[in-house]
A and B are shown apart, each in its own frame.
Chain A
């Protein structure tokens, strides 16, 4: 387990009595089996780093296993996707601020773009990831679930507890905002 995972385990109090966990927690494994692949895809697209993906994945299931009253949540998929998405965003932000502090240089996003850099796929993807992390949470969740996890609008709505129409509107707002930020960055 890496430093990030250890920190979170401490936060969650995993050193507490693990035997207190309900015996029927086999549903954690079946959730892992059922949603693991989609979750890994989402995390990979959000983070783009294998070690980070493993850390966030671990944290997500750790939280699920140590959920309040150790009871199975009503909608496991929603719980997993939202927890993973939020943890991934906070990790992404931590990494970005660490990078900024170490290099003492402005973030990639703020650097003036040259034609060469524009072509750079890595920069484009990095910029978009940074901007996605800066979106308001309700818009970010929709982009993460719809565009990165490629869930249909119906499922996105069910996970977020909104209507499919609202999910569509949020996605439009998010894309508009991302496009405006991309435009600003070019200038």
Chain B
């Protein structure tokens, strides 16, 4: 009887554990995160999935309900990405502008801006344009930073500071423990 009770308790605990894992996984997969760290991973994942946690992966591999949820979420994400990946014709903006300008009043239609809009082509944002050369730009910036730091003697100042610090500590040990011990502790200073 006692064994049966224990077994039942164990089963209930197991179920509760799985349910809480389900809830946590659901929160992680669908819900907005509260903490700043989670929020950043949420932002980076774009879909709200923070899959890097091993427990999520372990749980999904064993829980059929979460598997279903995850596959459905994956389908939504894939469809959204498919929509985004289909680019429109380059002349679409031109055509849309022309059709919109044509229904505006006469003096607007005849203005220079309108003429320019009729031949306008979509230009990617500055961030996107810079993405191609961003890597080399970062490298150049890092080199320049190192050059500037060495030019203004930051590195030698750090060395100097370190030596001064060691000397101060040695003086302290000299006064507290005596010269013999401090010689052993700081042979270089």
User: Residues of A at under 8 Å CB distance from B?
Assistant: 1, 5, 9, 14, 18-19, 21, 23, 25-26, 28-30, 32-33, 36-37, 40-41, 44-45, 48, 50, 53-55, 57-58, 60-62, 65, 121, 124-125, 127-129, 147-148, 150, 165, 168-169, 171-172, 175-176, 178-180, 182-183, 186
Contact = CB atoms under 8 A, between A and B. Distances in A.
Most chain B beta carbons < 10 A, residue from A14, A25, A26, A58: A58
CB-CB nearest 5 A-B residue pairs: A128-B79, A179-B72, A183-B72, A57-B96, A61-B100
B96 A58 contact: yes
Interface string B17-39: 00000000000001110000000
Interface in B99-132: 99-108, 111, 113-114, 116-117, 120, 122-123
Contacts of B69: 179, 183
14 contacts: A25-B104, A28-B104, A29-B117, A32-B101, A36-B96, A40-B88, A40-B92, A48-B86, A57-B100, A58-B102, A124-B79, A125-B83, A179-B73, A183-B71
A40 B93 contact: yes
Contact of B108 (A28, A58, A128, A180): A28
